A and B are shown apart, each in its own frame.
Chain A
Amino acid sequence: MNLEMFLKMQNELLLVGLLLAVLIGEIITSQKSKVKLINVTIIGFALVTLIGFIYQPTQGSIFGGMFRTNALIQLLKNGLNVGVLIILMQSAGWLKESLVPQKKSAEFFMLMFSSVIGLNFMISSGDFLMFYVALELSTLPVAALASYNAYKRQSAEAGIKLILSATLASGLALFGISFLYGATGALYFDDMANLLQMSNLTILGLVFFFAGLSFKVSLVPFHFWTADVYEGSPINVTSYLSVISKGAAVFIMMFILFNVFKAFTSIWQPMLYGVAIATMFVGNLFALRQQNLKRFLAFSSVAQAGFMLLGILNGGVLGATSVVYFVLVYMFSNLGAFGVVQAISHKTGKENMKDYEGLYRTNPLLSLIMMLGLFSLAGIPPVAGFFGKFFLFTAAAGKGYYILVFIAVVNATISLYYYLKVIRAMFLRVSDNPIPYFKNDIFMKLGLASAAAGILVLGLYSPLFEYVQSISNLIFN
């Protein structure tokens, strides 16, 4: 055990450090300087993010294989960090104006950071115990965050729904894991992969485990909590759930399916096939009729999860590439959309589609960013979402799933319908009572701008995809 080994977990350690720093800062600063603390924390997180990009931890595993890291995992962690950073920047105004008076701004950071730490450990985990602990670490603080909005009954309701459903899900996953353990006697992923053999019990274990993880990715029929929790939670928590937490979960799901359940490909591929179709349809059909934008984006993110399964179905490097790439793209797209919703909701408290009518005429920039985000989610070129979706479809088609691809593209068309509904409200409609023009604070601007930049650049600029492609084979180890 030496320093170099610890450096493999630099990201987690830095975050823990930051978390403790915030804790100390919270204790020693006066109420007046809490606002500054927020700024400092965000900058601190930005530094952590930056370091993640600068110092690439060496590939390898520590703690006897419980913790692994490699370039792909680090890329994802960096991506998640960027996403969290954008979320923090977008929520700075809300934090300062709503939470500081309630004296719970620092706690927000601490909870969020601990959840991020959990996610980081989760995608680095090398055994089922670590995975389980990290999963809980990533979920439970978010439940607290979901019920953060003390003024709103919905917020508490969201918290309750999240924590109870999550516990049930993890209970089911645990039950599944226990059978897998019983069948192999191993908890490490690599041991398990070697020992697992096809049997009724292991299939049951796989499915239960998959169901528990699907909960986090919001796959149908394990998705029902999504919309309610997304709608009730504060918006930044919603975007965190829909982007960061989902992205990490998809990645680890792909990793586990590819490696641990390699022998079960004939099981999980048809399973994903069915679940993907159901997820896309259900997500889209529900999204069609939503008026509340948070709820709307919730269902849209359910549908997007269905698309991601197409990449996983490929089962190869191309699939891994397309999924990781899509997760990154999706992150920026969703954050662009959520950022605008956040900005408007924060300034005016309006979250319904109807309130957005005529938005372009009063707030053109916000509308444009929203449009970019929605187009990207819908997969309209030349923004990044198009490329992300295209590669997912390519991955699925590469394994011959043409019908599934067709269903997926039809769903993309349905999704376009409701994305266009928002655009219709913003651009086509003229309202007597539009949202008035307002200025955003600098953090919000930065947050929105970086989301927009990501949406624009990620697709057209191919080296990123190439980089993902070049390291994607790391998914297999």
Chain B
Amino acid sequence: MNFSYTILIPLIPLFVFLFVGILHTKLTPKIAGSIGVLGLSTTTLLSLYTAYKYFFEVGKVGEVYQTFIGAKTTWINFTDTLHIDMGVLLDPISIMMLVVVSFISLMVHIYSLGYMKGEAGFNRYYAFLSLFTFSMYGLVIATNIFQMYIFWELVGVSSFLLIGYYYDKPSAVAAAKKAFIVTRFADLGFLIGILILSYYAGTFDFQTLNDPQGAIILNGIGGSFMGLSVLTWALILMFMGGAGKSAMFPLHIWLPDAMEGPTPVSALIHAATMVVAGVYLVARMFPLYYFIDGGFVLQIVAYVGAFTALFAAIIACTQNDIKRVLAFSTMSQIGYMMLALGVSGYDGHEGLGYMASMFHLFTHAMFKALLFLGAGSVIHAVHSNLMKDMGGLRKYMPITNITFLIAALSISGFPFTSGFFSKDEILAAAFEQNKLLYFVGLFVAGLTAFYMFRIYFSIFWGKDRDYKHAPHESPLTMTIPLILLAILSIAPGYIHFSDFISADRTSFVAHLDFPLAITAVVTGLIGILVAFVFYKKESNIPERATKAFGAIYTWAYHKFYIDELYLFVTKKIIFNVVSASFAWFDKKVIDDGMIGIGNATINSSDKIKKLQSGKFQDYATWFVVGAIALVLYFLYKN
């Protein structure tokens, strides 16, 4: 099977980006929008076609899913053996990601036609969307770690551009900067990890790296550093990159702020696709993570994931901005995925966590995108992000209401939604490996249900606010994606993911573990119930609850002051102390030092001017002194 056409999948959005980007002043919004949607539709079709071909026709040889290289070319040579290739790598997870990315992106493209209508930078927006899509494609189909890194950076910059879309809004600018710099910092780790890996493994190539029978895994080459093998360090550092992109604690601080971008962007980038890149990275390198040092790094992954899930969920309960709630929710859910990866084994059913993680990635992409788009629809209607400005909207926006509810149920793990299935697999995997993590996961599931329904009830129920003009349902361009996504928030649950995706590429059967499932469902329902009591109607219960939690609430409300801590380190220490002192040092010590040498020369010139006194008898004195001194010196020497 020749998959070389897959090269078109990233190239089409790139072309759209260049075309729209260069001509963005010339094109009308309509044309630009249509080009974008058209391009994305094509790639979506291509992705689906590829997925079909791969999963159902050619992908499986024997019991094992094969890796196909759709296209590959050398991009640059570093040494005789090290080189970066650009290519298309097709295997189950990359194809799954292709599908997710193209579908969500297409939805967002369509949705934005309505949502962004009339915006001044409409064309720019579509150009950036295409750029992002291109970069994301490049990331998922990367054949080697360096290609991934390249597109990793590119998605970062697209994210930066889209967050800063409202560039005259200082908060948006700040958020964009923050997002870029924080992820960049994480990428520092990623890059160093790559450097270590490349040196000791001698290759960037995923296939060579991940080969469980390969030299790298079997021999675990390289020395050790501080008690861990260098490859472990490399993997930890690479995970740092992934954690940055996926907003894992403590590199998560950029994600809530990133909500300054247009809502569809949040849906696409900061909910469904880019933020799961970290998960994808770990999944992509899973054999390495699993086999090197007996999965030491995976434990880190699991704990970081679990902690983030809990941490973000707690904060989500306290936020008032619906997009921020969703952002923390996203963090929490990605934490789930990390947790799942972290507890996963490798062979067959052992790899349940891996499968669950990918599964959850998929379903989460759908329902979280839906949540965001729904929230966007609401925001579009009431022109505010804050819950206090919303209420009783179910009457005005029925479609939004229904779809949002579906998504909320799905994320809460309500039975028969896709979220139910995927979350259940995760909990099951965690249960098998580590009970502590399981209970954390379970608790988070409850919290998730609570805060989701907290916002759901606040938005769609309760009493009307005094809207300036009556809210109305969004246009078709916006509701159609909502409906499609709503369907996909339920349907995928019935796909047997374990047939397609597994750590060792062989199918296995994953059963629903009923005791666990019921526990989870009950926990979720409790959450929903609490939210129902608290927020279905205006009441003072939430305030009382707030009071009851006291300091914890305040801490959570302020996101545990992590932002402030970062701000302190960056602004106060790096900016005002380090950088300022460097600037001072440069000006006062180095520059003035060099000038000082010059001035000293000039001053010394002034000091000795008295020698030239104008009295020729003094000159004669010097003359004779000089002569006699020379004589004496040489007489002495002789």
Contacts and interface: CB of A to CB of B under 8 A. Distances in A.
A416 to B, nearest CB: 12
A164 B623 CA distance: 13
Given A203-B638, A414-B601, A227 B623 contact: no
Contacts of B601: 285, 288, 414
Given A208-B631, A414-B601, A286 B608 contact: yes
A251 B230 CA distance: 71
A215 B623 contact: yes
Interface in B261-315: none
B631 A165 contact: no
A417 B625 CA distance: 31
Interface stretch (A60-68, A139-147, A218-226, A448-456): A218-226
Interface stretch (B44-52, B138-146, B234-242, B614-622): B614-622
B616 A221 contact: no
Given A227-B612, A228-B616, A286-B608, A221 B623 contact: yes
B635 A200 contact: yes
A204 B630 CA distance: 9
A211 B612 contact: no
A128 to B, nearest CB: 18
Interface in A210-239: 210-211, 215, 220-222, 224-225, 227-228
A222 B620 contact: no
B631 A228 contact: no
B609 interface: yes
A203 B616 contact: no
A207 B623 contact: no
B635 A286 contact: no
A211 B623 contact: yes
Contact of B618 (A204, A207, A224, A288): A224
Given A172-B623, A285-B601, A207 B634 contact: yes
Contacts of A207: 627, 630-631, 634
B606 interface: yes
Contact of A228 (B605, B608, B614, B630): B614
Given A203-B635, A288-B601, A288-B602, A224 B630 contact: no
B616 A172 contact: no
B interface residue count range (under 10 / 10 to 19 / 20 to 34 / 35 or more): 20 to 34
> In this complex, which of B601, B604, B622, B634 has the most chain A Cβ atoms within 10 angstroms of its Cβ?
B634
B63 to A, nearest CB: 76
A285 B604 CA distance: 7
A211 B633 CA distance: 14
B623 A289 contact: no
B196 to A, nearest CB: 44
Residue from B602, B606, B627 with most neighbouring chain A CB atoms (10 Å): B627
A203 B631 contact: yes
Nearest to B602: A288
B631 A204 contact: yes
A289 B620 CA distance: 23
Contact of B609 (A164, A172, A221, A289): A289
A267 B633 CA distance: 10
B634 A203 contact: yes
A368 to B, nearest CB: 27
A296 B635 CA distance: 36
A221 B626 contact: yes
A5 interface: no
B1 interface: no
Contacts, number: 82
Nearest to A164: B616
B226 interface: no
A224 B611 contact: yes
Contacts of A211: 623, 626-627, 630
B602 A289 contact: yes
Given A211-B630, A288-B601, A414-B601, A172 B635 contact: no
A200 B614 contact: no
A286 B609 contact: yes
B627 A165 contact: no
A286 B612 contact: yes
B181 interface: no
A161 interface: yes
Most interface-central of A160, A221, A222, A417 (chain B CB within 10 A): A221
B476 interface: no
Contacts of B609: 286, 289
Contacts of B618: 224
Contact of A289 (B598, B606, B625, B634): B606
Interface string B217-237: 000000000000000000000
Interface in A367-421: 414, 417
A320 B625 CA distance: 30
Interface string A284-301: 011011000000000000
A19 interface: no
Interface string A182-212: 0000000000000000101001100110110
A105 B339 CA distance: 106
Contact of B627 (A172, A198, A224): A172
Contacts of A227: 612
- A-B pairs with the 3 shortest C-beta distances? A224-B619, A221-B626, A211-B627
21 contacts: A160-B616, A165-B619, A168-B623, A200-B638, A203-B631, A203-B634, A204-B635, A207-B634, A208-B631, A215-B623, A221-B625, A221-B626, A222-B622, A224-B611, A228-B616, A270-B634, A285-B608, A286-B605, A288-B601, A288-B602, A417-B598
Interface of B: 598, 601-602, 604-606, 608-609, 611-612, 614, 616, 618-620, 622-627, 630-631, 634-635, 637-638
